Structure 1
Amino acid sequence: MAIELIEGDTNPGKVKIGIVASRWNSMITDKMLEGALNALKGNGIAENDITVVRCPGSYEIPLTVQKLLEHREVSGVVALGVVIRGGTPHFEYVCDAVNRGITDLILKHNKPISFGVLTTDDVKQALERAGDKGNKGGEAALALLEMISMEQNLIS
């Protein structure tokens, strides 16, 4: 008996994609959003099949993703934001809340949500991850496409 291997790729066919991007630290999240849009369009996703929703900050991402999933027909969502460590425990609280919120939504709605929320020690690290040394927004978009494709292959 042979091992069955089920994988996805970045070409899931005709799908609708949601993107939630925070405006806080927009000099970083705007680059990540651009990277995500370029990755999606570069893999055959039409502009009219992409919905972008901007929210104030990373803490608001889970609720915004939930509203998007409830009110728009999307195959999955890319969540984009950035939390930069400061001198208070605020960093840990926000990171934990966003991570837990996204995880809960994946399981509740049974749809893939890619986690493109940067958690960095400083602005320099965030800028590097938003374009100077790769674009985590683009990587998150590709991961979402692969998850959608994998799911299609799994259930077909």
Structure 2
Amino acid sequence: MTLKVYLSGEIHTDWRERITEGAGDLDVTFSGPVTDHAASDDCGVAILGAEADKYWHDHKGAMVNAIRTRKGLMEADVVVVRFGEKYKQWNAAFDAGYAAALGKSLIVLHGAEHAHALKEVDAAALAVASEPEQVVAILRYVLSGRLPAGAD
């Protein structure tokens, strides 16, 4: 069984690399949004033309990025949404809700500092992890039925 996993959320830490490297021996394909912040912000105006108003600049980018995001979420078997510490990721919350509405298996990844703020998002998830390595262990278990070494 091959799992298609969409990695959504914050782009300022190495969590994606930790998951993809940790799952290197698993039958998993990963996808996700454009993680080049400047490209993501400016794709709309770079492709469709400049906007004098910042709102419309951002709006064009959001719409172009949504093409990739929707496809990735719809095709995924599992959606992992990471909420980081540095910024509020409204787009990540939207992706989590969209994935839940699509009936996708949702894994939420965040630290304890977000437990209260994300309680509704966490309630929609099938697992809430605090470290990328826990996501890898979940994927390994789903694919093989094996628990991590040393687990009871």
What band does the TM-score fall into relative to the shorter chain?
A: 0.3 to 0.5
TM-score (norm 1): 0.45
Higher relative contact order (CA 8 A, sep 6+): 1
More strand by share: 1
Larger radius of gyration: 2
* TM-score between the two structures when normalised by the length of structure 2: 0.45
